[in-house]
Amino acid sequence: MGGKESADMTSRVLCLKVQILLSKGLLDEAISLSESFRSRHPACFDVNAALVDLYHKTAQFDRAEALIGNLRPNSLEQRQRYLRVCGDCALAQYDIPAAESFYQELVDLQAAFADKAKNLIRTLQLHLMKGDIPKATCQAQILDSSYNLPVRDRMRKFYAVLLSEFGKFPRLIEEMSSIRHLSLSEQYDRLLTIVADAPYGCPAAMTVLTAARRLSIWERETPQVCSGLEHQIPRRIVQFWDKADLPEEIGTTTATWKRQCAGFTHILFNDGSANEFIRQHCSVDTWRAFKAARQPTMRSDIFRLAYLYECGGIYADADDLCRRDIAPLFEDGYSLLLLQEYIGSIGNNFIAAAPKHPWLKRVLGGLVARVLERPNDNIWFTTGPGALSHCFCQFYLDDLRGRRLPVGMRLLDVFRVSRYVSVALPLHYKATDHWTSSDSRLSCQSTT
């Protein structure tokens, strides 16, 4: 076997090993393995493409772009992979026009319906991020009618639920569509007016937050930090699992927080201890909402905000794996650190706050009221990222209009957080109807 054939075969084995490491959240090991291989085979297309993917996943965009410039696809298969990694890298930097161009060419090239469907889902995501709900809905209908994706397709189902919920508010969608011809900057200003006036404005809020990232508003200035110990985020990591007995996988992921973050206290709550904490420290309504929540997912959502408001600290989901000490994220004295998800929404799987933070008070109050009024509503919109995103835009409306970061806040995108934490690992129990599965979060039907 010749040298090139041997390198090609070895590179395929490498790619399989990288995928296994990624499934375990071991991004640093995957990068190290790939860089070691590249040092011996610097021109190998597969390893360079793999490194572009790994670098963008950990917000090392300069290194990713440098490698993209050296990628030379020599076959249709390589051309398709080139377009995918370029599109993913552009999307991670919120360069939506570039990502759209790469993904569309990729869709045009692909004949296999499974691969084409996967990339049509990527373009559906782009339409959502732009706030073009009618086009996203049309794309979803094409996927349904032409590709017959299985219900278990996680991302397809997630977007279907989002669009179904958005479709309940045709007037709001019509208002958003009426400004699509404007420049991004003009759309941003008009969207803020829509968010301010809409009692339910989650689609507009998500589009505003995406536009803010695209306009570099979060990076335009160094945020003012709060002085005084009472405004600091305590060095305390809090996690939640409904049962006292942890599955082996969750025992492994939660242990990484204690191991990597030695300077932090670590506390793991379950249904019983969370209920007792809320009963003792929080309002009667918060306790009522916690008890009224049928799903552990919803109880977890309520508990994390209630605990952070009362005591402050860092909340991390139990299926997130900590790869290195998170202390550098908190060195500048912020009083609130939030995660912006890949579709623009404010995530709730990683939140850090000082005690009694006013935004937490507002979002917790709204969330509790919704649970008490409509305990069977969709979880993602009632207590999850949809609710947080709308509340964020309404609470910080003046700052958003002034195109500045709120005082004392740090808003990180998911890729920068991924330098430290591997989020939402594809653990084995998620293949079941467990409460932490995507299906559970998207509905409020009891699985327990």
Give the rounded distance of the alpha carbon of 136 from its chain centre.
19
* Three state DSSP letters for 131-179: CCHHHHHHHHHHHHHHHCCCCCCHHHHHHHHHHHHHCCCHHHHHHHHCC
The pLDDT confidence band at residue 225, using thresholds 50, 70 and 90, is low
How many Cα neighbours within 13 Å face the side chain of 221?
A: 12
- d(CA 418, CA 406) in angstroms, rounded, equals 23
Label residue 11 exposed, middle or buried (CB < 10 Å: 0-12, 13-18, 19+): buried
Instruction: Give the pLDDT of residue 443.
Output: 46
Whether the pLDDT of residue 72 is over 50: the answer is yes
| pLDDT, greater one: 442 or 320 | 320
E strand or H helix at 413, and its extent?
A: strand 409-413
pLDDT tens readout for residues 23-47? 999 999 999 999 999 999 899 999 9
**Mean local confidence (pLDDT), 408-413:** 91
Give the pair of three-digit tokens for residue 22. 């990624």
Among 112-116, 126-130, 140-144, 228-232, the range with the most confident prediction by mean pLDDT is: 126-130
Q: Tell me how far apart the alpha carbons of residues 444 and 368 are, in angstroms, rounded to a whole number.
A: 15
> Would you give the DSSP letter of residue 32?
H
Instruction: Identify the pLDDT of residue 152.
Output: 45
**Nearest CA-CA partner of 436 in 379, 374, 386, 381:** 379
- Quick one: average pLDDT of 378-398? 94
- Which tens digits make up the pLDDT trace of 101-134? 999 899 888 766 556 777 888 889 999 999 999 9
The string of pLDDT tens digits covering residues 77-96 is: 899 999 999 999 999 999 99
pLDDT above 50 (res 445): no
Strand partners, 236: 265
Distance from C-alpha of 361 to C-alpha of 354, rounded to nearest angstrom: 12
Task: Please check the confidence at residue 340 and state whether its pLDDT lies above 90.
Answer: yes
Give 443 or 118, the one with higher predicted confidence.
118
- Looking at residues 162-182, what average pLDDT do you find? 92
pLDDT at 141: 85
- Residue 123: what residue type? T
Task: Kindly state the tokens that stand for 348.
Answer: 């709730």
pLDDT of residue 447: 28
State the CB neighbour count (10 A cutoff) for residue 404.
16
Kindly list the structural domains of the chain, giving each domain's residue range(s) and its CATH number in brackets, ordered by start: 223-442 (3.90.550.20)
Q: Which of 56-60, 190-194, 196-200 has the lowest mean pLDDT?
A: 196-200
